[in-house]
Structure 1
Amino acid sequence: MIAKIVKGQDFRGVVNYIFDRKKGTELLASDGLRTKNKETIIQSFVGQAELNPRLGKSVYHISLSFSAKDKELLSNELMAEVAKEYLGKMNICETQFLVARHFDKEHPHLHMIINRVDYHGKTISDRNDRHRSEKICKEITRKYGFYFAKGKEQVKVERLHEPDKTKYEIYNALKKYIPESGDWAELAMNLKEQGISIDFKTKGTTTEVQGVRFIKNGLSFNGSKIDRQFSFSKIDARLKQNVQEQIFSARKGDSLSTGFLRELLVQSQKQNYKDELHSKRKQIPRKKSKNKGLRRS
């Protein structure tokens, strides 16, 4: 089970989306709403939101998606139960909510509309909501025995929103090009073709590299935040391993000429990248020696 959280200020828009006839919508649960029709639902949400007019984004639109493998297991009753449990664990309580199931996709999924202005006019906190939500989804998935997707490769990147979309694009690029690269310069060239640049983090005022960041679409991510396997030390070790594997393969009789010609083709570009990195390192101020200026007696 995974959750997608969107915050906004237009109850009408999200209500109209959820009750679109093309979605085959079924209402599973609600609280504090007049559910006679779409208009009464909208009026209920808007009326309560006016208790706290200072809150700009009073709409919580949260979708819960399950694997298609769980389709036979997920009755409407179970999905309603899961939705309420999710809300409780997220500390979303004492407020209006609506839970509806859609049938327009292969995988089971539901949508929730929650009023971030509760019954007492107070704001439902959204602090660290995405981090908390991810943890809760894993807990619920384990509790009910739902299917766990195997790794990030199963994620449909085109359906994500920023910054997750860019983060997964970088993930996929690293998965593809790290095994194909012989060093950082070659990896940088391959990533550059995908609009991704590399920035190294150095130790203090030295040139010793301690970390790496990947930048795309104006967004920056530490390698280890994209995935633990993409920390600087782990990528560096893998690149060195690639070189050793190439040498071993050559010793077993593979043609050396192919690798040699390939090296000639990329050498000038690699050198340009190395020169650029060297130039950046030279700009880092060095600590002055405390012994400077002392004379020997």
Structure 2
Amino acid sequence: MIGKIIKGRSFKGCISYVLGKENAKLLDSEGVLLNDTKSIINSFYMQSLMNPKLAKSVGHIPLAYSKEDASKLTDEVMVKLAKEYMKAMRIENTQYIIVRHHDREHPHCHIVFNRVDNEGKTISDRNDHFRNEKVTKALKEKYGLTFSVGKEKVNIHRLREPDKTKYEIY
């Protein structure tokens, strides 16, 4: 299980990407109108207006799992893991959607959340990359998910900077 934390400015771009993939499946949501993609985007946008000083109000976290764990990862289990992840990362009291994709050989889902919570306060991103590593490791241990053995599992052709340089150095 790997989580990649991305912060952005455009709910339209992020949600259109996440929901626009072929066979994308909306697994869970909170605090958004689900009539269509546009209503989901508008729901997120309206809440972000409660905190106009926050430049990057879009939170996007793809959670990717090892293909060895595919048989364990039903939609229900994936939602449970995503919600536990969000709680441990202190992503609470805010709007979110959880969407599963089937476009890669490894199972994965996307969490899109509003960094402006339901009271108009910013959800802290302090030490989020460090917390992400701790939380994903704890969830892998708790649920018996596969730990990567090492570099032999890396898709080198998919690496981008700065990860590409890190791979070459280490």
Q: How does 1:67-216 map to 2 (within 5 A)?
A: 67-171=66-170
Looking at secondary structure, tell me which structure has more helix per residue: 1
Task: Tell me, yes or no, if the aligned pair for 1:33 and 1:45 is still in contact at 8 Å.
Answer: yes
TM-superposed CA distance for 1:127, in Å, is 1.0
Q: Aligned partners of 1:16 and 1:27: how far apart in 2? A: 12
Q: Is 107-116 or 153-162 further displaced after alignment?
A: 153-162
The equivalent of 1:29 in structure 2 is 28
Task: Flag structure 2 segments of 5+ consecutive residues without an equivalent.
Answer: none
TM-superposed CA distance for 1:161, in Å, is 4.8
Q: Aligned partners of 1:162 and 1:76: how far apart in 2? A: 32
The equivalent of 2:9 in structure 1 is 9
Relative to 1, partners in 2 of residues 1:152 and 1:135: Cα closer, same or farther, differing over 3 Å? farther
Opposite residue 97 of structure 1, the aligned amino acid is Y
TM-score (norm 2): 0.95
Task: Tell me, yes or no, if the aligned pair for 1:32 and 1:97 is still in contact at 8 Å.
Answer: yes
Secondary structure of 2:5 counterpart: strand
The equivalent of 1:57 in structure 2 is 56
Secondary structure of 1:91 counterpart: coil
Opposite residue 19 of structure 2, the aligned amino acid is F
TM-superposed CA distance for 1:170, in Å, is 1.8
Q: Aligned partners of 1:6 and 1:165: how far apart in 2? A: 18
Deviations 1:47-72 (A, max 9, x none): 00000000010001100000111111
Cα RMSD (Å): 1.2
Q: How does 1:270-281 map to 2 (within 5 A)?
A: none
Task: Tell me, yes or no, if the aligned pair for 1:157 and 1:169 is still in contact at 8 Å.
Answer: no
Identical amino acids, percent of aligned pairs: 50
Relative to 1, partners in 2 of residues 1:120 and 1:161: Cα closer, same or farther, differing over 3 Å? farther
Opposite residue 96 of structure 1, the aligned amino acid is Q
Q: Aligned partners of 1:141 and 1:165: how far apart in 2? A: 25
Relative to 1, partners in 2 of residues 1:32 and 1:65: Cα closer, same or farther, differing over 3 Å? same
Opposite residue 25 of structure 2, the aligned amino acid is E
Q: Aligned partners of 1:134 and 1:161: how far apart in 2? A: 19
* Residue-pair matches, total: 170
Task: Flag structure 1 segments of 5+ consecutive residues without an equivalent.
Answer: 172-297
Q: Aligned partners of 1:94 and 1:29: how far apart in 2? A: 15
Relative to 1, partners in 2 of residues 1:78 and 1:50: Cα closer, same or farther, differing over 3 Å? same
